[in-house]
Amino acid sequence: MAHRISLFVSLATVWLLLSGHYTGLLLTLGAASCVVVIAISHRMDVIDHESHPIHLGWRLPGYWLWLLAEIVKANIDVARRVVDPSLPIDPRLFEVPAHQKTDLGRVIYANSITLTPGTLSTDVSRDKIQVHALSGAGEDDLRTGTMDAKVCALEGNS
Amino acid sequence: MSPQFVIVAIAILATMGLAVSRAVVGPTVFDRILAANTFGTKTVLLIAVVGYLTGRPDFLDLALVYALINFIGVIAALKFIKFGHFADHRSESNR
Amino acid sequence: MTLALDLVSWACLMLGAAFVVIGGIGLVRMPDFFTRTHPAGLTDTLGAGLILVGLMIESGWSLNLAKLAMILIFLLFTSPTASHALAHAALVSGLKPWTKPGADSEQNRSKP
């Protein structure tokens, strides 16, 4: 039930922000379409903790801030390699362990790896993720396991 | 007219040109889809910037819709290349 | 708008434009498909992010800010998904990643 309420709140927010017209008719239409979408999603059985991960709660913004810092660092590194006339790249394919307990955690980990330029997840299995990295620096960063631990902490004990 | 938007628009257009050249050169089909994807996200940015450049921020709605279509288009193109058709018979027989 | 906000907006837009162009150059310079995905990610994360943040500062507190934020969040969610799907499909289809000492880059360009 909490997921449905949360879905209704996010759908209503999107409607209110995108429409910009706050008259009775349009607000009624908006509420009606939100209810219809939730009814259809309920029939499709797609509303659960994976499609709507509210249990991550307030840990998520903190993780995003940390990930943002990582992304900025990685961006500067990759940009430096691209503009360097000698093109100092050393691409490699390797596997890193993934200690997340749920599928959602592994997906967050794999997407975080891909979102950071210089590393790209190419395959996800139960306990490890295959990664293509542009340079040795990207591989060393992942091998320290900091991101893995951060995603595990984000998952919590649920 | 604000000069900063003109500079950004030119930069985005230059990148779109580079992406098109990569899409033409290839050499594999994945290079072409990657270039098309980059071209699409740059189109989203260009629409937003041009909206501000011409003083019509309503363009943002178009940018939002284009972002949605671009993502679905890339996934659909990938699936088409992989299977040769959009219908996935195997998943239907499992139901 | 105050001068300070104006300067921050200019800085964001110019830096974003620089990242977008560098990403485009990388897309052409890199030797093979897998290495090309990295500069493409460059334009999708910090390039797009800085340009959209610059526009957000320009628009001030309005509905446009929310729309720009929505575009940014959507791009940040979908771009890694598309990159992963592409790279996975390329790897499954038998495309071999280019490696540094490999002077024989021709064999890597086998058709999928």
> What DSSP assignment string belongs to A95-149?
EEE---SSHHHHHHHHHHHHHSTTEEEEEE-SSEEEEEESSHHHHHHHHTTHHHH
Please report whether residue A146 resides in a domain: yes
Report pLDDT digits (tens) over C39-85.
888 888 888 889 999 888 888 888 888 888 888 888 888 888 888 88
For residue B13, the model assigns a pLDDT of: 92
Percent of chain A past pLDDT 70, that is, above it, reads 95
Q: Where are the domains of chain C?
A: 3-93
Higher pLDDT, A78 or A49: A78
Provide the domain limits for residue A142. 57-155
Both A63 and A140 in one domain: the answer is yes
Task: Check CB contact under 8 Å for C22 and A89.
Answer: no
Give the Cα separation of A68 and A116 in Å (integer).
9
For residue B14, the model assigns a pLDDT of: 92
Mutation for testing the C interface, residue in A78, A116, A119 having most C CBs under 10 Å: A78
For residue A32, the model assigns a pLDDT of: 92
Q: Does B62 touch chain C (CB under 8 A)?
A: no
Please report whether residue A49 resides in a domain: no
Q: What is the mean pLDDT of chain C?
A: 81
- The answer to whether B8 and C13 have CB atoms below 8 angstroms apart is yes
Chain C residues within 8 A of A132 when measuring between CB atoms: 34, 37, 87, 97
Assess whether pLDDT exceeds 50 at residue C108.
no
* Residue stretches of chain B with pLDDT short of 50: 92-95
For residue B17, the model assigns a pLDDT of: 92
Task: Check CB contact under 8 Å for C41 and A114.
Answer: yes
Please report whether residue A116 resides in a domain: yes
Tell me the residue type at A44.
Answer: M
Assess whether pLDDT exceeds 60 at residue A18.
yes
Give the Cα separation of A125 and A41 in Å (integer).
28
Distances (CA, A) of C22 to A34, A131, C6, C90, C104: 42, 23, 24, 24, 27
- The residue of chain B nearest to residue C90, with distances taken between CA atoms, is B30
In angstroms, the separation between the Cα of residue C4 and the nearest Cα of chain B is 15
Query: Which of the other chains make 3 or more beta carbon contacts under 8 angstroms with chain B?
Result: C
Higher pLDDT, A158 or C23: C23
Q: What long-range pairs does A53-58 form, CB within 8 A, spacing at least 24?
A: A53/A104, A54/A2, A54/A3, A54/A6, A55/A156, A55/A158, A56/A154, A56/A155, A56/A156
Provide the domain limits for residue B27. 3-94
Mutation for testing the B interface, residue in C34, C67, C91, C96 having most B CBs under 10 Å: C67
Both A77 and A151 in one domain: the answer is yes
Cβ–Cβ pairs < 8 A, chains A and C: 96
Both A38 and A94 in one domain: the answer is no
Higher pLDDT, A149 or A27: A27
Task: Check CB contact under 8 Å for A79 and C42.
Answer: yes
